[in-house]
């Protein structure tokens, strides 16, 4: 039985005081709650937030990481550095990294492999543009990204991989795929993972929805059989909007 996994992606938001206060509020509000939780914190505040969530039921996540180990890579942050300050999970392949920064599936795959080798959990983001959906290619795009980004990942390592389906057209726009549309893609992704691996891996993998989930629509989305949680953006920036999703 898969349990809900709710992750908050703070993106490039908050200041240090706000990050610490939000983390404190979440530790208090989510103590002893039954689901799995993670917060994806900006690099510069990870260390401060690590002190707050240490020993709690909230995983500390980074929003990206380098594809290589330590060395001459100016401006990058390695898995080793993240682990050193208590990071347990990393978000990879987010649509904003793909489409604003230009990250390729080849690079994302290297990051996924590196993170797993270093013992970090991975939230791997996949999803189609509006033009892909309108052309009827949503499933094709998701299948390609799953194949490319998980290349070389073993069935055993898949225990530490969460898939986050994020229709790019529904991120930060206020638009949301209908629960039925979201479920259809989630079900497709689960069946495709069964083809890549086996049915056991597919049955166990957590697939989050990442397209403008909020308290008003979360219950209906999470009621779908193949939607196992959410990767939450804007609604994760305040305890009063994030906690109601977390406790469903």
Active site amino acids = 94, 166
Nearest-angstrom CA–CA distance, 240 and 23:
12
The Cα 224–Cα 40 span in angstroms is: 25
C-alpha 72, offset from chain centre: 28
Q: Hey, how many other C-beta atoms are within 10 angstroms of the C-beta on 243?
A: 20
| Closest alpha carbon to 185 in 206, 207, 168 | 207
Tokens 């057209």: give the residue. 169
How many CA within 13 A on the CB side of residue 11? Answer: 14
| Residue 104 CB neighbours (<10 A) | 10
One DSSP character per residue, 165-193 reads: E--GGGSSSS----HHHHHHHHHHHHHHH
Please give the Cα distance from 64 to 210 (Å, whole number). Answer: 16
């Amino acid at each position: 039985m898969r349990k809900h996994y709710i992750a908050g992606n703070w993106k490039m938001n908050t200041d240090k005081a706000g990050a610490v206060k939000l983390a404190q509020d979440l530790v208090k509000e989510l103590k002893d709650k039954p689901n799995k939780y993670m917060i994806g914190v900006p690099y510069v505040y990870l260390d401060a937030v690590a002190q707050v969530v240490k020993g709690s039921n909230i995983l500390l996540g980074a929003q990206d990481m380098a594809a290589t180990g330590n060395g001459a890579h100016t401006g990058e942050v390695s898995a080793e550095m993240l682990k050193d300050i208590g990071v347990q999970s990393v978000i990879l392949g987010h649509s904003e990294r793909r489409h604003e920064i230009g990250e390729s599936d080849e690079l994302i795959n290297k990051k996924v492999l590196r993170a797993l080798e270093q013992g970090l959990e991975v939230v791997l983001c996949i999803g189609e543009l509006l033009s892909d959906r309108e052309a009827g290619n949503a499933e094709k795009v998701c299948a390609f990204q799953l194949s490319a980004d998980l290349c070389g990942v073993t069935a055993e390592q898949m225990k530490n991989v969460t898939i986050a389906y994020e229709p790019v057209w529904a991120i930060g726009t206020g638009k949301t795929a209908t629960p039925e549309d979201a479920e259809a893609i989630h079900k497709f992704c689960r069946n495709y993972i069964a083809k890549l691996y086996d049915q056991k891996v597919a049955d166990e993998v957590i697939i989050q929805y990442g397209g403008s989930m909020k308290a008003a629509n979360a219950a209906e989305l999470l009621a779908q059989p193949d939607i196992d949680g959410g990767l939450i953006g804007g609604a994760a920036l305040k305890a009063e909007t994030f906690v109601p999703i977390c406790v469903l």
